[in-house]
Structure 1
Amino acid sequence: MAPPIYEFAQVPHVDKHAERDARARRQKAPGEAPCVGVIYNPRSHGNQGADFDCGITPHVHIAQPGDRSQLPEALAEFAQRGIDLLVINGGDGTVRDVLTCGAGIFGENWPAIAVLPKGKTNALTVDLGVPGDWTLQQAVEAFQAGKRIHRRPIEVATQGDTPAGKVLGFILGAGAFTTATKAGQGAHKLGAFNSMAVGVTAAWGILQWFFAGPTNSWRRGSPMKIHLGEQQTPMEHSGLGSPDWRQFMLASTLEVLPAGIKLFGPLTKGLKMIVLDQIQRRSILLIPSVLRGKVPSGLRERGIHQISTPQFTLDIEAQFIFDGEAFPAGKYRIGQGPELEFVTP
């Protein structure tokens, strides 16, 4: 079953003049425990049927928003409390919604963030090196003695006549990636999650690319136009297939992807993208090497592009996927959001 379409008109927004940089400045006494705010998503896969321990410390404040519309109120309350640590208990979709709603509240003054991997997919925590069984207590302890990793999320903004709005997340894909996400839902039903689901779906996709016909959704891709940088330079096309179509597109600011996949080759920092034109069957044999981070010669001539860019625009005539959820066709500006500090073990 296809995921629901995320409409920008439904994104809760906060008046930038009302709440931005509202996080209170709190002076902590030596040895005082950090003030922690927890966004707990009871609908996340790893939380279903589980009670959340709310009695860890009086300095921990728990919010369980029923839906996206309640997130701004919960985050604004955390900001007024002057929290030192924001804990997101959920999967990649929960992280996307919290960052999106929090952008108008925290602005450039975010607290440190810890993520408990409780979703069906937890790509961000794979990148951060967070174990799957990480607990709230361990996250609070890591605030004092753990490591800090900085990442900038992808910022997707609408253009043209669509409702204004911005969404923050970490993995954006289109074309066969949309098909793969739907296939991943089937893998979840079979009990495969996280890196296992990614590995199973990638293997299935390679088989589809090799054996399926041109009308198959894995091979057909989507009509899209990509322009790079502030100058909006049209992205080159290998000439394989229609110049208005791309078979596969994936963009991310993560440095480590699930299942050990290294689609961006030597590119690691910032906003990166891999794009496949309508590649030929003999070129599909290169995909396993590309997945391992190898860069065979002549990739672009064979329809495989690995690009690093601070921003790009995407004009797409089909749905695309952003952190597991479908977004409608349209014109979008994709850049990078604020630099965030993540707490890790």
Structure 2
Amino acid sequence: MTLALAAAIPAATHRVAIVRNIYSRHNRGRADAHQPATVAGIPVHEPASKAALERHLAQLAAEGVETLVVDGGDGTIRDILTLGLPLFGARMPAIALAPSGKTNALAHDLGIGTRSLEDAVAAIADGRRVTRRALAVTRAGTAVVLHGFLLGSGAFVRATALAQRAHRFGAFNGVAVGLSLASVIGRTLFGGDNGVWRRGEPMALARDGRVAIDHQTYMFLAAALTRFPLGLAPLGNGPFADDRVASLTIDAPPRHLPRHLPALLRGGADDALARAGYHRCRDRQVELDTTSGFVIDGERFDGGRIMIRRGPAVTFIAGR
């Protein structure tokens, strides 16, 4: 970092901290005794666990930090919002993201391509401020709220496992998405109606308090993203109201998939898709009950009954 870069941050009036995920793809093996405790005068926090992250965020909340520079991926943002929002409340810091994860879907949504930690710090001075409201996911009978941007169940859980395999072979970002999507489509088309991909699983779904689904379901997908990688639009073409949960539910087995696949992937023909069992919806609240678990921003959680809403607005610092 240069002195000019450090001077670009109004340190006297603006409290900044860096949180680096040492387990993110680009950061593995970098955390050691030689890593600096500060970068351009900004303290660097490298928590090694979620419990440690919570302690660091509590410290930053007590210090009144106003901006977090986050060196990590989608899962890092999920954990920072999940742990940080209860600690900061209405004073949640703005987030300048240096994407270093495997898929970086949120970075794509924010219009951030490859951005180094230095670029993220520099963007504090003059980057565009945009707000996003993540999905707020509450498990029945608990008070813990997960905050993330992409949630799925059913086939989406298996698709995430395929994506992890693609990562192990060196495919990341849009490449990993494309390879995983191609594999899911192939397994669904040629697996037979009794195959694990096509037969689905029992799900119960209520939209704004009204029961919508209680049968075998291929996949449920919900997101708080405005743009997907590769120009995909599985939830339809926006803009979407930021107080609604945009979702897609596909009945099992998927009907006439080759015919409907182009519209399904590119956001078109909602009425025709709905008649074939592909349902796009916008709801203030979705209640999902699934036995197979769900994935939110790359991490799998156990099944059960969950409530999905939109969380509070959080400011992100995008590109200039």
What TM-score do the two structures reach when normalised by structure 2? 0.89
**Alpha-carbon distance, 1:37 to partner:** 1.3
Q: Residues of 1 paired with 2:118 and 2:64: CA distance?
A: 20
Check the 8 A contact 2:177/2:229 in 1, yes or no.
yes
1:120-146 deviations in whole A, cap 9, x for unaligned? 1211111001122x1222222212211
Decide which moves more: 274-283 or 169-178: 274-283
Equivalent residue, structure 1, for 2:40:
57
Q: Residues of 2 paired with 1:44 and 1:317: CA distance?
A: 29
Equivalent residue, structure 1, for 2:197:
218
- Quick check: 1:274 aligned with 2:245? no
**Alpha-carbon distance, 1:313 to partner:** 0.6
Q: Residues of 1 paired with 2:246 and 2:288: CA distance?
A: 14
- Quick check: 1:252 aligned with 2:223? yes
Equivalent residue, structure 1, for 2:72:
90
Q: Residues of 2 paired with 1:191 and 1:66: CA distance?
A: 24
Equivalent residue, structure 1, for 2:28:
48
For residues 38 and 31 of structure 1, do their structure 2 counterparts lie closer, same or farther at Cα, with a shift above 3 Å needed? closer
**Alpha-carbon distance, 1:344 to partner:** 0.9
Q: Percent identity?
A: 35
Q: Residues of 2 paired with 1:335 and 1:294: CA distance?
A: 25
For residues 250 and 185 of structure 1, do their structure 2 counterparts lie closer, same or farther at Cα, with a shift above 3 Å needed? same
Check the 8 A contact 1:209/1:284 in 2, yes or no.
no
- Quick check: 1:197 aligned with 2:171? no
For residues 303 and 284 of structure 1, do their structure 2 counterparts lie closer, same or farther at Cα, with a shift above 3 Å needed? farther
The alignment partner of 2:90 has SS state of coil
Equivalent residue, structure 2, for 1:179:
158
For residues 225 and 286 of structure 1, do their structure 2 counterparts lie closer, same or farther at Cα, with a shift above 3 Å needed? same
One-letter amino acid of the counterpart of residue 184, structure 2: G
For residues 118 and 53 of structure 1, do their structure 2 counterparts lie closer, same or farther at Cα, with a shift above 3 Å needed? farther
Q: Residues of 1 paired with 2:303 and 2:232: CA distance?
A: 27
Equivalent residue, structure 2, for 1:102:
84
Residue 119 (structure 2) aligned to one of 138, 152, 155: 138
Gaps of 5+ in 1: 1-28, 238-242
Q: Residues of 2 paired with 1:137 and 1:218: CA distance?
A: 44
- Quick check: 1:233 aligned with 2:210? yes
- Quick check: 1:67 aligned with 2:44? no
What TM-score do the two structures reach when normalised by structure 1? 0.83
Equivalent residue, structure 2, for 1:159:
140
- Please identify which structure carries the higher strand content: 2
Q: Residues of 2 paired with 1:30 and 1:199: CA distance?
A: 42
Equivalent residue, structure 2, for 1:311:
285
Gaps of 5+ in 2: 1-8
